[in-house]
C-alpha cells in the first residue's frame, strides 16, 4: 500500500474537524514525547532498512579481525574497503532517515502560526 503524505496545514485542518474529545486526545498524544521504549522501537524499525545483511556483517567482522591481526591479503583489503564504504553509506542513510522522522514530528516554525 502506498503511503500518503499530508502537509502540516492539511493535518491541522483534519484535526480541527474531529469532535472535541478526540481533538483533545490527539493534542495530548502529540504533546507528550515518546517514552524510551517507543523511541527505541521507532529507531530499530528504521535501522532494519539501513543495515548490512547478516552475511555481510559476519564477513566485515572477519575481515576486521584479520586486519587487526595484520594478515589481510590485498584482495581482502579491497573487499574490506568496499564493505566499510557500504556500511558508512547505510549509516549516513540511517542518520538522514532519523533526522527526517524527527523533522516530521515537529511543525516548521512559522507554518504553525500561519495555520492558526
Radius of gyration of the chain (CA): 22
Instruction: Decide which of 82 and 95 is more confident.
Output: 82
pTM exceeds 0.75:
no
pLDDT surpasses 70 at 44? yes
Question: 3-state SS of 69-105?
Answer: HCCCCHHHHHHHHHHHHHHHHHHHHHHHHHHHHHHHH
Residue spans of the domains in the chain: they are 8-115
Of 41, 116, 57, 66, give the one whose Cα is nearest residue 90: 57
pLDDT surpasses 70 at 105? no
Instruction: Decide which of 34 and 56 is more confident.
Output: 56
| Number of Cβ atoms within 10 Å of the Cβ of 93 | 14
Amino acid at each position: 500500500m502506498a503511503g500518503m503524505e499530508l502537509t502540516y496545514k492539511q493535518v491541522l485542518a483534519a484535526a480541527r474537524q474531529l469532535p472535541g474529545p478526540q481533538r483533545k486526545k490527539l493534542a495530548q498524544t502529540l504533546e507528550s514525547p515518546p517514552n524510551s521504549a517507543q523511541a527505541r522501537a521507532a529507531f530499530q524499525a528504521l535501522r532494519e532498512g539501513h543495515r548490512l545483511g547478516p552475511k555481510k556483517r559476519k564477513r566485515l567482522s572477519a575481515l576486521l579481525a584479520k586486519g587487526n591481526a595484520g594478515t589481510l591479503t590485498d584482495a581482502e583489503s579491497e573487499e574490506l574497503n568496499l564493505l566499510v564504504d557500504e556500511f558508512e553509506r547505510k549509516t549516513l542513510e540511517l542518520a538522514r532517515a532519523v533526522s527526517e522522522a524527527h523533522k516530521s514530528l515537529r511543525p516548521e516554525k512559522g507554518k504553525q502560526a500561519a495555520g492558526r
